[in-house]
C-alpha cells in the first residue's frame, strides 16, 4: 500500500481529513488542492496570512510529493458538525499577483521590447528575474522567435500573463510539473482510433428517473465561527446572528512541574455574551478574578496586518468584535500596523502528575471552541532530588585575585565541616590564615518532592538545631511569600521539608534560602618562574576524597614560551631513519627530514601540538593507526 500523508507546516492533518482533491486543468498553469476537514481542530494552524507565499501544504502519495500555497480558508458544514476547508495552488502560482509584481510600459521604463528587438525566451527570463522574488523554474521548450521593438506591450500584467501571451503567439501551451516548475511546450494531440462510439439517438445505454422526497425540516441550528479567524468583520451580529471567537496563549515561560500553577490567557468574544466553559478532567483550570471579582480583562495589542487588495484581519477581535482592517484597494499587497483592545480571561492551570494534557475551552452555545495543550515534566530532569553527604558537600573556591599571574598570592576558601585538612600545590604547600570562619549565604533553590540542594554546606556552628529559615512561593493568586523551617544535617548541603514529600501541590517549590556556612582560608603563591597556563592546588580532607582546584594563569600563554627542538622520524617496523619526510605542525609546513631522519626547529611553543607526516610510499600519519598525530613541548 502506498504511503499517504497530508500536512500543513509539516503537521499532519490525516486524522481530521474528510477529502483532498488535487486538480490540473489543461487551460491552467498550475495545480490546485482543495482539502476539507471535519472539525476546527487545525483552524489556527491553517491561517492563510501566516507565512504568506510559502509552500505550506504538502500531500504525499507514495513516492510523489505535491506542495501548495495556502491561500484560502472557509467554513464548511457537514453531517458530523462544523469544519472548514483550505485551498491553494502549486508553486507556479507565485508567477501571478499578489505574489509577483505587475509589468506596465511607461515612457520612463526600459523593458527589452521597448529598447530594441529581443526574443520571447529573453522576455520570459527578464520578467521572472525582475518581477518575481522567489520564482519557480520556467523552461521555454518551443521554437524561440524574435519580438521586434515596440511590437509587444504590457499594461498591469503579471509575469504569468506575459508568459501566456508569448506562448499563445505560436500556439504553445503551459505545462505545470509536479515539482512546481513550469514549461512552455508545443501543443499536440496524438491521433488514435476510438475504442467504441455511441450516439444518443440510436443507442440509449441507460435511463434513470427518481423522485426526491423533501426531508420535512423547516429550521436549522447553526453552531459556528466566522471565516476571519477572529470574530469576523461584522459589527456584533446586530441582525441576530452569532459571532464568536476564542484563542489561547500561555503567559509565563519555562518548564511546568507537577502541582505547579501556570497562567493561560483565553482571548474570547461573543456578540451575545455567552459564558465560557473550560473542560479539564485531569487537573484544575480556574479563572482569575479581578479586584472587583470580574474575570473580564482588556489587553492593548499592536500587530502588523497583511492587506491583500486593501483588506485584511487582525489575529483577534477588538472589544466590538471587529477584525477587519481596510486599506487602499489599488495596492495588491502591503502591511500596516494596527493597535486595538481585545477581551481576555486569565486561568490558573495545575496538573498533579508528569504527562501531556489538553484543555478545551468553549462557549455555552458551542459557537466557538479552542484547545490548549501543555506538558508537565519532572523538576530538574529528576523524579526526586538526592541527598548530598558531608564529603560531597565540600566546596573549594578561589576568593582572590581576579586574575592570577606568576608571583600572585592566591586566596582560596575550603567550605565544609570542620576537620583535618592537608593542602598541596604544584609548588610550595598552601598555608592557612587561621581558624574556621562562618559566612552568610543567600540563594534560590527548588524543593523537589521535599528536597533541595544548596551550593555550600550548612554550618555546624549556628545555634538553631537542624532548622534553616527560607521564604517560598505557593500556587496562589496573587503570589505572596511564606516562611518555613526546613531540616538539614550539619556539614551537608541538603534541605528537607517533610510536608512537601509526596504532595503534588508542593512537588516543585522555588525558595529563597538564607543560611550560614563554615570555611577556612588558605594562601598559595604561584612561582615567578611558572611557565604553564594551569597551576594545580589540592586538599586531602579527613576521610573524604581529594578536592582539587585548577587555577588559570592568565598572563602566561603557551605561545610566549618557546623551545628549540629536533624531530626524528623512523620507520615503525624497521626502525630505519627516514629521509625526505614532510613535516606539518599545527597545520603549517615546517620542512623535510635530512638523511638521518632529523628536522631541527626553533621557536616551538611550550604545550601540545598536532603533527602530520607525509612521504611517498607511506600512508599519511593522520590516516594510519599509530599514535603519531600529537606531541608535547615542555
Structure confidence by residue, pLDDT tens digits, 256-272: 888 777 889 999 988 88
Q: Is the four-CA dihedral 52, 300, 373, 16 of positive or negative sign?
A: negative
Q: CA 87 from chain center: how many Å? A: 27
Q: Model-level pTM greater than 0.75?
A: no
The Cα-based distances of 627 to 418, 572, 611, 612 in angstroms read: 47, 11, 11, 11
Q: Is the four-CA dihedral 38, 40, 41, 42 of positive or negative sign?
A: positive
- For the purposes of burial, counting CB atoms within 10 Å of the CB of 133, is it exposed (0-12), middle (13-18) or buried (19 or more)? exposed
Of 28-42, 93-107, 377-391, 555-569, minimum mean pLDDT range: 377-391
Cis, bond preceding 406 (omega within 30 deg of 0): no
pLDDT grade, residue 215 (50/70/90)?
low
d(CA 443, CA 457): 13
Q: Is 396 helix (H, G, I), strand (E, B) or coil?
A: strand
Cis, bond preceding 154 (omega within 30 deg of 0): no
469 vs 50, residue with greater confidence:
50
The Cα-based distances of 523 to 28, 186, 401, 545, 623 in angstroms read: 85, 90, 11, 21, 48
Q: CB of 495 within 8 A of CB of 554?
A: no
555 vs 595, residue with greater confidence:
595
Beta strands in 474-597 (DSSP E): 481-488, 494-496, 508-525, 534-541, 547-552, 562-568, 582-585, 588-592
Amino acid 387: pLDDT? 57
pLDDT at 376 over 60: yes
Closest among 380, 388, 379, 395 to 488, alpha carbons compared: 388
Give every strand in the sheet of 72-78, ordered side by side: 17-23, 32-37, 81-89, 72-78
Q: CB of 129 within 8 A of CB of 123?
A: no
Summarised one tens digit per residue, pLDDT across range 470-505 is 555 444 333 444 556 677 888 898 888 877 787 776
Q: Give the H or E element holding residue 266.
A: strand 262-270
d(CA 257, CA 384): 12
d(CA 36, CA 47): 15
Q: Give the H or E element holding residue 88.
A: strand 81-89
Of 205-214, 362-371, 398-407, 572-581, minimum mean pLDDT range: 205-214
Q: Is the four-CA dihedral 140, 141, 147, 151 of positive or negative sign?
A: negative
Closest among 137, 142, 378 to 257, alpha carbons compared: 378
The mean predicted confidence, pLDDT, of the chain is 82
Amino acid 151: pLDDT? 85
Summarised one tens digit per residue, pLDDT across range 118-144 is 999 999 999 999 999 888 999 999 888
Q: Which residues pair with 37 in a beta bridge?
A: 17, 84
d(CA 373, CA 353): 15
Amino acid 612: pLDDT? 92
Q: CB of 579 within 8 A of CB of 597?
A: yes
Task: Go through the chain and tell me how many residues it has.
Answer: 634
d(CA 175, CA 55): 19
Q: Give the H or E element holding residue 160.
A: helix 159-169
d(CA 158, CA 417): 81
For the beta carbon of residue 230, count every other beta carbon within 10 angstroms. 25
For the beta carbon of residue 117, count every other beta carbon within 10 angstroms. 13
pLDDT at 238 over 60: no
- At residue 407's C-alpha, the angle toward residues 406 and 411, to 5°, is 105
pLDDT grade, residue 447 (50/70/90)?
confident
Q: CB of 334 within 8 A of CB of 327?
A: yes
pLDDT grade, residue 90 (50/70/90)?
very high
For the beta carbon of residue 390, count every other beta carbon within 10 angstroms. 20
Amino acid at each position: 500500500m502506498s504511503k499517504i500523508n497530508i500536512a500543513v507546516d509539516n503537521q499532519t492533518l490525516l486524522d481530521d481529513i474528510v477529502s483532498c482533491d488535487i486538480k490540473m486543468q489543461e487551460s491552467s498553469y498550475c495545480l490546485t488542492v482543495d482539502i476539507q476537514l471535519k472539525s476546527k481542530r487545525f483552524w489556527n494552524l491553517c491561517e492563510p496570512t501566516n507565512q504568506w507565499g510559502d509552500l505550506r501544504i504538502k500531500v504525499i502519495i507514495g513516492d510523489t510529493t505535491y506542495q501548495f500555497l495556502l491561500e484560502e480558508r472557509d467554513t464548511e458544514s457537514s453531517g458530523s458538525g462544523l469544519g472548514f476547508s483550505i485551498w491553494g495552488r502549486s508553486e507556479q502560482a507565485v508567477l501571478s499577483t499578489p505574489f509577483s509584481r505587475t509589468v506596465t510600459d511607461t515612457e520612463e521604463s526600459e523593458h527589452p521590447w521597448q529598447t530594441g528587438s529581443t526574443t520571447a525566451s529573453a522576455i520570459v527570463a527578464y520578467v521572472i528575474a525582475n518581477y518575481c522574488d522567489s520564482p519557480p523554474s520556467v523552461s521555454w521548450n518551443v521554437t524561440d522567435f524574435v519580438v521586434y521593438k515596440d511590437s509587444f506591450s504590457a499594461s498591469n500584467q503579471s509575469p504569468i500573463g506575459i508568459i501566456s501571451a508569448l506562448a499563445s503567439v505560436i500556439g504553445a501551451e503551459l505545462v505545470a510539473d509536479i515539482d512546481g516548475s513550469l514549461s512552455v511546450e508545443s501543443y499536440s494531440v496524438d491521433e488514435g482510433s476510438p475504442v467504441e462510439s455511441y450516439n444518443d439517438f440510436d443507442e440509449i445505454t441507460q435511463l434513470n428517473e427518481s423522485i426526491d422526497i423533501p426531508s420535512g425540516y423547516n429550521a436549522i441550528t447553526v453552531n459556528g465561527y466566522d471565516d476571519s479567524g477572529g470574530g469576523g468583520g461584522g459589527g456584533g451580529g446586530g441582525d441576530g446572528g452569532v459571532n464568536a471567537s476564542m484563542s489561547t496563549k500561555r503567559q509565563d515561560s519555562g518548564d511546568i512541574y507537577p502541582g505547579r500553577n501556570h497562567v493561560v490567557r483565553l482571548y474570547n468574544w461573543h456578540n451575545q455574551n455567552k459564558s465560557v466553559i473550560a473542560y479539564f478532567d485531569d487537573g484544575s483550570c480556574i479563572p482569575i478574578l479581578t479586584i472587583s471579582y470580574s474575570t473580564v480583562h482588556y489587553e492593548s495589542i499592536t500587530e502588523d496586518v497583511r492587506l491583500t487588495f486593501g483588506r485584511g484581519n487582525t489575529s483577534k477581535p477588538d472589544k466590538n468584535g471587529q477584525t477587519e482592517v481596510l486599506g487602499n484597494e489599488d495596492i495588491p499587497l502591503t502591511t500596516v500596523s494596527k493597535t486595538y483592545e481585545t477581551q481576555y480571561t486569565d486561568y490558573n492551570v495545575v496538573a498533579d502528575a508528569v504527562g501531556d494534557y489538553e484543555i478545551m475551552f468553549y462557549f455555552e452555545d458551542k459557537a466557538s471552541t479552542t484547545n490548549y495543550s501543555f506538558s508537565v515534566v519532572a523538576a530538574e530532569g529528576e523524579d526526586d532530588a538526592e541527598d548530598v553527604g558531608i564529603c560531597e558537600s565540600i566546596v573549594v573556591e578561589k576568593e582572590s585575585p581576579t586574575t592570577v599571574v606568576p608571583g600572585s598570592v592566591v586566596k582560596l576558601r575550603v567550605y565544609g565541616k570542620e576537620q583535618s585538612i592537608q593542602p598541596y600545590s604544584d609548588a610550595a604547600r598552601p598555608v592557612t590564615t587561621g581558624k574556621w570562619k562562618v559566612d552568610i549565604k543567600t540563594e534560590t533553590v527548588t524543593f523537589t518532592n521535599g528536597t533541595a540542594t544548596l551550593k555550600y554546606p550548612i554550618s555546624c556552628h549556628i545555634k538553631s538545631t537542624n532548622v534553616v529559615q527560607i521564604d517560598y512561593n505557593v500556587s496562589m493568586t496573587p503570589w505572596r511569600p511564606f516562611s518555613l523551617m526546613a531540616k538539614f544535617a550539619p556539614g551537608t548541603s541538603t534541605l528537607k521539608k517533610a510536608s512537601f514529600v509526596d504532595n503534588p501541590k508542593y512537588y516543585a517549590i522555588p525558595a529563597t534560602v538564607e543560611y550560614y556556612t563554615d570555611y577556612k582560608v588558605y594562601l598559595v603563591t604561584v612561582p615567578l618562574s611558572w611557565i604553564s597556563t594551569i597551576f594545580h592546588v589540592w586538599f586531602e580532607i579527613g576521610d573524604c576524597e581529594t578536592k582539587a582546584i585548577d587555577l588559570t594563569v592568565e598572563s602566561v600563554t603557551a605561545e610566549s614560551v618557546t623551545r628549540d627542538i629536533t624531530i626524528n622520524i623512523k620507520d615503525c617496523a624497521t626502525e630505519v631513519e627516514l629521509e625526505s619526510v614532510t613535516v606539518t605542525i599545527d597545520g603549517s609546513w615546517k620542512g623535510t627530514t635530512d638523511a638521518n631522519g632529523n628536522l631541527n626547529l626553533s621557536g616551538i611553543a611550550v604545550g601540545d601540538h598536532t603533527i602530520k607526516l607525509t612521504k611517498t610510499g607511506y600512508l599519511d600519519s593522520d590516516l594510519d593507526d599509530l599514535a603519531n598525530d600529537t606531541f608535547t613541548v615542555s
